[in-house]
Structure 1
Amino acid sequence: MSNTDNRCRLVLVAPDIADVEVCTQAISDALRGGDVASVILPQYGLDDQAFQKHAEALVPVIQHAGAAALLAGDTRVAGRARADGIHVTGNAQVLAETMEKFSPKLIVGGGNATDRHHALEMGEIRPDYVFFGKIDGDIKPEAHPKNIALGEWWASMIEIPCIVMGGTDPQSVLDIANSGAEFAALRLAVFSEPSQAAAIVAQVNALLDEKAPRFED
Structure 2
Amino acid sequence: MTETSSPDRCRIVLIPPAGTPAERIVAAFAGGDIASLILPQDSRDEDSFQAYAEKIVPAAQAAGIAVVIAGDSRIAGRVKADGLHVEDGKAELADAIDRLQDRMMVGAGGAKTRDDALELGEQRPDYIFFGRFGFDNKPEPHPRNLSLGRWWAEMIEIPCIVMAGSDVASVEAVAATGAEFVALSAAVFAEGAEPATVIAKANALLDETAPRLGD
Answer whether TM exceeds 0.5 for this pair: yes
Match for 1:35: what amino acid? D
Partner of 1:16: 18
When normalised by structure 2's length, the TM-score is 0.95
Q: Does 1:97 align with 2:100?
A: no
**3-state secondary structure, aligned to 1:164:** strand
Match for 2:88: what amino acid? G
Change (3 A) 1:198 1:69: same
The answer to whether the 8 Å contact 1:26/1:194 transfers is no
CA shift for structure 1 position 106 = 0.4
Partner of 1:63: 61
**3-state secondary structure, aligned to 1:150:** helix
Aligned counterpart in structure 1 of residue 121 of structure 2, from 101, 120, 123: 123
When normalised by structure 1's length, the TM-score is 0.94
Identity across the alignment (%): 51
CA shift for structure 1 position 90 = 1.1
Quick one: distance in 1 between partners of 2:28 and 2:44? 22
Quick one: distance in 1 between partners of 2:85 and 2:172? 24
Partner of 1:148: 146
Match for 1:88: what amino acid? V
Aligned counterpart in structure 1 of residue 155 of structure 2, from 144, 154, 157: 157
Quick one: distance in 2 between partners of 1:56 and 1:139? 28
**3-state secondary structure, aligned to 2:128:** strand
Partner of 1:47: 45
CA shift for structure 1 position 27 = 1.1
Structure 2: tracts of 5 or more residues without a match: none
Q: Does 1:113 align with 2:115?
A: no
The answer to whether the 8 Å contact 2:33/2:203 transfers is yes
Match for 2:31: what amino acid? G
Quick one: distance in 1 between partners of 2:91 and 2:133? 19
CA shift for structure 1 position 194 = 6.3
The answer to whether the 8 Å contact 2:17/2:134 transfers is no
Question: Deviating runs (4+, > 4 A) in structure 1?
Answer: none
Match for 2:144: what amino acid? K
Quick one: distance in 1 between partners of 2:82 and 2:200? 24
Match for 2:64: what amino acid? G
1:166-185 mapped onto 2 (5 Å cutoff): 166-185=164-183
